[in-house]
Amino acid sequence: MIPPIAWLQPWQVWATITSWNSGSGVADQSGKPNPLHLLNRYRLEHFHAHCTLIEQLFLRHWETHLHTKSPDPSTSNWACILIDDRATQHTKTCILNTLLMTRLKAAVTIYTPASKREAFANLTEPFGQFVKIETLDRHGVSDSLGWSKYNNLLKSSLFWKELSAQQILIFQPDALLIQPLELDELHFDFAGAPWNKGRVTSCEFPTYNPSLQRTGSNWVNQALCQTVPDQTNNGNGGLSIRNPRLMQTICEDHGQASPDDEAEDIFFARFVGHAAYQAKLPSQDVLNRLFNESSYSDSSGFHGSWYYLDASEQARLYEKHAKHVIGMLLGLG
């Protein structure tokens, strides 16, 4: 007798979408997990595999090149911000890629609990002249940095007040810049990947009986961006451009009233368009060319898009990234 499959538990299959299949979308009455959650685990590992290949084939050469470079403090008024507590090889790849795609015009600052500082220092030591590490203890984060602490940190005016750069690029380890950003042209106060509230996608899974004979199909639907307020499009915070002074002001004006479980990007998106702030925001066309997440565009970067896009669309983004990395490194000579 073949032993039963040891299905991954729901907490082992991280997903950011909401499924419309059976209740919470985690498991059906047979105890089997929602197939979409298993597919999303595959998609996540596919993203990690892409990043690993990019690092092993190309970014190692970029890292070696950085040994010969020194920061130029006069290059720009930008900073790239990573807020995370996972000092992994994957995170290192994302940092190297961000330095490449910003052409060293913006150094990277990592915000992490003090307990993780040494690990990040060791991780980035080969190019440490382009990386600054700040601890979060003064913000009440001394151990781990979960979803709630991350969002509450970014809804704190004190955090934004500490930032001296005129503009920042926030990037998370599940985001990638896939072509160079023209920083001198991106003087926006807030710009993140467009949300697509109301979009519903369907995914077909073949079904089989215990004899492994095909019995039909199971269609699993997913409704995207359900927690996003109506008429809100700009934008997802995982890969985003921010004006720290505007973020600080919005936090001072509205931060205390934001629920603890409100995502920071939704919080800011509710207010950046208010006339009182006179924020410079990108048009829809510019936004689509910048970043994407839940709908495809020929963008300069993506955040978690593999959970939402068709496989052929995501493949185009991966290949576009590889081509730009290759071209930039060949350009170095």
pLDDT tens, residue by residue, 73-126: 666 799 999 999 999 999 999 999 999 999 999 999 999 999 999 999 999 999
Instruction: Express as a percent the part of the chain with pLDDT over 70.
Output: 90
Polymer length in residues for the chain: 333
- Please report the pLDDT score of residue 16 as a whole number: 35
- Please report the pLDDT score of residue 73 as a whole number: 63
Buried b (16+ CB within 10 A) or exposed e, 310-319: eeebbeebbe
- Please report the pLDDT score of residue 41 as a whole number: 92
- Please report the pLDDT score of residue 31 as a whole number: 61
Report whether pLDDT(23) > 50: no
Q: What is the pTM of this model?
A: 0.89
Report whether pLDDT(4) > 90: no
DSSP 250-286: HHHHHGGGS-TTS-HHHHHHTTTT-GGG------HHH
Which residue segments constitute the domains of the chain, with CATH numbers given? Answer: 10-331 (3.90.550)
Which backbone phi and psi does 151 adopt, to 5 degrees?
Answer: -70, -40
- Please report the pLDDT score of residue 7 as a whole number: 46
Instruction: Express as a percent the part of the chain with pLDDT over 90.
Output: 74
CA dihedral sign of residues 155, 158, 163, 164:
positive
For residue 204 the two structure tokens come to: 């077909």
- Please report the pLDDT score of residue 75 as a whole number: 62
Q: How distant is the alpha carbon of residue 163 from its chain centre?
A: 20
17 band by pLDDT with thresholds 50, 70 and 90: very low
Quote the mean pLDDT of the chain.
88
Report whether pLDDT(10) > 60: no
Report whether pLDDT(2) > 70: no
Smallest Cα–Cα separation from 76: which of 152, 166, 197? 166
- Please report the pLDDT score of residue 19 as a whole number: 34
Helix, strand, coil % (nearest 5) of the chain?
40, 20, 40
Rg of the Cα atoms in the chain: 21
Q: Kind and range of the H or E element at 78?
A: strand 78-83
pLDDT tens, residue by residue, 247-290: 999 999 999 999 999 999 999 999 999 999 999 999 989 999 99
Report whether pLDDT(217) > 80: yes
**Lowest-confidence range among 22-36, 142-156, 160-174, 288-302?**
22-36
- Average pLDDT on 59-77 reads 85
- Please report the pLDDT score of residue 20 as a whole number: 32
12 band by pLDDT with thresholds 50, 70 and 90: very low
pLDDT tens, residue by residue, 158-212: 999 999 999 999 999 999 999 999 999 999 999 999 888 888 888 999 999 999 9
d(CA 230, CA 206): 35
Residues 6+ apart with CB under 8 A from 14: 40, 41, 44
